Structure 1
Amino acid sequence: MKSTQIARRLAGIFKPVMNLVPTFPVATKPEPNMALDRSQNKTSSLFSKAKDLFLTLKHDFKTLGMKATFKKHGWKLFAIFFVYYLIRDSLLYIVIPGLVGYGLLAK
């Protein structure tokens, strides 16, 4: 017997058994704006607002693309990138070397 004939027979034998295996629906992720319902929470912190903004930006970038996201959130994206790189670069190139230099000179 050829291997293809054996495979067809085995598939025919196991077909009724495979119909007995339960199937489960695939879970879908909720939309980021719908998942975070902050309408009941009256005290929303800066962190939660930033998190909501990032989730919205991520969702818009995935669905609309880069060009439409920049048209929709232009100055906010610029401000986020500017502040992020300002903080990162000041820590990397000013604060950390300053602390290391201060520690070396203090000894």
Structure 2
Amino acid sequence: METRQWLDVDATIDNEVSTEAEDGDPRGVVDLGSSIRQAGWDQIPGWPHDAAGFETWPALGQKSTVILNAAQWDLVLSSLNRWAAVSESLGSRQHAAGAEELRVIAALVRAQLTEQGWPSP
């Protein structure tokens, strides 16, 4: 996937972790979500360590591969779908575009997992 798309995954998982932490984490999402974010930071070359670094990173079209386990990918997909619905419910054109981007990323992840022989998530 494009690295810029992983930034959306990272932000979505951050939202999921923050929400679950506020709600007492009844689903055990905080640790799992944190492990997903850490995997991206560790596996994607050049991940910036401060806000200024994101001004020129990632390069246009830069691709990245992130390796996760099944539970992590399940959380990625469910979170992308959940936050797409939340964005869409806000009713603005900007939020609708954000929701569509999250759905595109979810479809890309599903296709890539299926291509690698994973059961259809």
Structure possessing the higher radius of gyration over alpha carbons: 1
TM over 0.5, shorter chain: no
* TM-score, normalised with respect to structure 1: 0.32
More RCO (CA 8 Å, sep 6+): 2
* TM-score, normalised with respect to structure 2: 0.29
